[in-house]
A and B are shown apart, each in its own frame.
Chain A
Amino acid sequence: MNSLILSTATRLLLPLMLLYSVFLLIRGHNEPGGGFVGGLVAASAIALIKFSSGLERARAALRFDPITLVGTGLLFAFASGLLPLVAGMPFLTALWWDQKIPVLLKAGTPVLFDLGVYVLVVGVVLTMIFALSEE
């Protein structure tokens, strides 16, 4: 399936969608958005490459094996829970860093947790899409 319109559109849409997904992730704490939706948008972006230029291109664009992303996301989320344990607080207690960072606004373990959700969702969706497309 090679459609000129689709591949041109993809080239334009791809950066926008990826940027939008990160935007959703970061702003999720104060406005509608969050890791889950952000991850879904990012996954759709990669799926778009798959449909316009084929599976191999999509894999190359992602760089990581999606299964690895699943594990990494879970690890991030889990690590965000473990950090407070080190500080002597219950598992998954939110820890916040006092300094404000320009873009992220605030840094703390829930941000890491959300990032974990984001990465995992990208991984889960793409694992399924890739596995199904291979047939």
Chain B
Amino acid sequence: MISGFALAVAAPWLSRIAGKHGGNLLAMLPAVLFAYFLGLVQPVTGAGPISEITRWVPTLGVDLSFRVDGLSLIFCLLITGVGTAVIAYTGAYLASHEQLGRLQAYLLAFMASMLGLVLSDNLLALFVFWELTAFTSYLLIGFKHHEDKSRGSALQAMLVNGLGGLCLLAGVILLSNIGGNTSIVALIGQADAIRAHPHYLAALLLVLMGAFTKSAQFPFHFWLPGAMAAPSPVSAYLHSATMVKAGVYLLARLSPVLGMTPEWVGIIAPIGALTMLIGAVMAFFLTDLKQILAYTTVSMLGALVMLVGINTQESMAAAMVLLIVHSLYKGTLFLVTGSVEHGAGTREIGELGGLRRAMPLTAAIASIAALSMAGVPPMLGFISKELWYESSLQLALGGIPLVAASVVANGLGFALAGVVAYGVFFGKPAHPDPHPHDPNFAMSAGPLLLAGLGLVAGLFPGLLIEPLTGAALTAMAFDASHYHLALWHGINPAFALSLLTFALGAALYTGRERVVANLGRLAGMGRYGPKRLYELSIQKSLAYARFQTNLLQSGYLRSYVMVVVLTSVVMVGLSVTWDKVQSIVVPALDVRLHEVLLAVVILGAALMMARIGASLAAVAALGVVGYGVALMFYLFSAPDLAMTQLSVETLSVILFVLVLRSLPEAKSLSSRSTRIRDALVAATAGGLMTLFLLIVLSEPFQSRLSGYFNENSAPLANGRNVVNVILVDYRAFDTMGEITVLAVAAIGVYALLKMRKGEGGSR
């Protein structure tokens, strides 16, 4: 994983020096990692999970504890396997793009975060990687940053995922509080206690928010089709094969902790089924290849979530197999779409047809993948669908709607597989590009490999898929000892449903044009979906921000002062309660004559400053107030403060004089009522401060700090002036912050004044 981040940093540079072989070179890393994880299959399925712990933030219980079990291994293999294909493909797909290196850097960084996500055993570390994937996804969607649409989609994906991420964080914290642990393995041990806990439902809902936004479940499904603004290989990798499955991963990972309850099944399964139907139906009405694939992805994510929601051993097995199949065929089809656009010039299905002559290799790849998508034997897709039907049929009466929804969604999926493969590559030749052509080897190898895997795995399911899914079931706390996968399950209800699906699919495919023409008007209803809600909320919050800015930041210094003073009055005032006021002990007055005189001078000067007309005189009066206060500090034995106050006062008078010199003579501009208002605000602030000080002084004075500082200042910090030692040693970090603020203020003043000169103004 670290190698992923490291290579991501080096990628732009590498891709420049390696020229056109850069993509293949960078693809070596995922390939090597793939081989590494493949090597782990044997030990993990045989001997059980492998884990490794590094302490990261021990005070918060955040460890980098990595754990490889069956479930993470499936994801690791998908991430690195599809990653290899995608990175090699990208190198060729965008060969002439000047920012190719940057794109590959993002891709590698994403891969590393995704691996971190599926390998973390620590919930908080998992959350960190979760957010990292959202962040890299934002960068990848917005890759064409000069296009408005890309930026909008990227932002939308970021906001939706950010919302889910925050909920997930809350859920994770709640969960670790209930369980008293941040390790998932440890939490599984306390699953019963967690399910019985009164906060169980809250934790579950928060985690679900995270999973549903990430995996584009209804009503958050709209960000995923929007994310298709990214280049095709990115869509293939993030938005179909890996990242969007993170939500499914999270659900599967936490199912032994949170699952097996009526709430789990009752919330997750229906939402999954609904998403599955909506995705499939919407895909059916679209004409852009990539959008079709995007919505079928939403549909399949819904199916995965539904299966995880059903939460039986069979449904989990079906989900795992479907997960693998879907990544293989959907990744392939996205890459193929990229090739078609590259070779034939468009993605509109209406303008495409009969490409098999010009692009034979691409046509073959697409056909294999589409057969898997349609769930035709002997593809792996067939096996997954059989398992899917079997597990839904096992449900009692409540399962009937789920079964019906599944059949409809799969029928639509079958028809759409026909559209993307048969419609584009067979039939009457049609394409805008006069010379369509197959892409080069680097662009074909990846998809060919992925599609081929789907076929091989279908023919020999016992070879790789069975041990992997078996180990994943063990990871989800099921007993997988009798688990067995086969291509042929015999003639049973599931097979009958498969046949029904094929028939429905074929009918839908042939009748597609008529259906679309008749029902096309209804598709416009999408406008009133959750996407509209999202847009509205963005608009409204921007409008509110503008209103608030206008209100609070008027550009007049006087209103800023007012806002600052009033805010502190309210905030401080809230903390003053009546019993605190009653507890005030008025200190015994022991004042000397000179102290009283000093106070009178300060008060007099302050009043004069407020009443006087001429501005220079007001500044002088202000200076008197300042010097008076400095003297006060000196009298009450704070020489450091007194000295500083004295110098600061001197310099601020100088600054005031310099500023006032260039301002017009002060006139009385404010009306009587504003003056009264200002006086009231000032009096409240001053009165409250006095009250506050009296309260503080009435508390018994307990300070271990000053004793500590006094004792240790000289021996530890080599200084006898405690004030200064605090400033430069004990609290040097604070001082550092303060001087930084000073520096920024100076630069600000400098820049503002210079800017005005630049404008040629001579006020």
Chain A contact residues, CB within 8 Å of chain B: 24, 28-37, 40-41, 43-44, 47, 66-67, 70-71, 73-74, 77-78, 81, 91-92, 94, 96, 106, 108, 110, 113-114, 116-117, 120-121, 123-125, 127-129, 131-135
Contacts and interface: CB of A to CB of B under 8 A. Distances in A.
A33 B739 contact: no
Closest 9 CB pairs of A and B: A40-B647, A29-B719, A132-B658, A124-B746, A32-B639, A30-B720, A127-B746, A110-B728, A34-B724
B648 A106 contact: no
B743 A120 contact: yes
A132 B735 CA distance: 27
Interface of B: 639-640, 643-644, 647-648, 650-651, 654-655, 658-659, 662, 717-721, 723-725, 727-729, 732-733, 735-736, 739-740, 742-743, 745-747, 749-750, 753-754, 757
Given A41-B647, A132-B655, A117 B728 contact: yes
B735 A106 contact: no
Given A29-B718, A96-B718, A131 B754 contact: yes
A108 B658 CA distance: 39
A43 B742 CA distance: 15
A113 B742 CA distance: 15
Given A113-B732, A124-B746, A94 B640 contact: no
Contacts of B720: 29-31
Given A33-B721, A37-B647, A96-B718, A133 B658 contact: yes
Contact of B747 (A37, A43, A70, A106): A70
A91 B737 CA distance: 14
Helix, strand, loop or mixed for chain A's interface?
helix
Helix, strand, loop or mixed for chain B's interface?
helix
Contact of A131 (B719, B725, B739, B753): B753
A110 B643 contact: no
Contacts of B746: 66-67, 70, 123-124, 127-128
B651 A47 contact: yes
Contact of A132 (B650, B725, B745, B753): B753
B550 to A, nearest CB: 30
Given A32-B639, A34-B724, A92-B733, A125 B659 contact: no
Nearest to B751: A131
Given A29-B720, A67-B750, A127-B746, A73 B644 contact: no
Contacts of A81: 732, 736
Contacts of B719: 29-30, 110
A28 B659 CA distance: 32
A22 B724 CA distance: 15
17 contacts: A29-B724, A31-B721, A34-B727, A37-B643, A47-B651, A71-B743, A73-B739, A94-B729, A96-B718, A108-B718, A110-B717, A117-B728, A127-B746, A127-B749, A128-B655, A129-B651, A132-B658
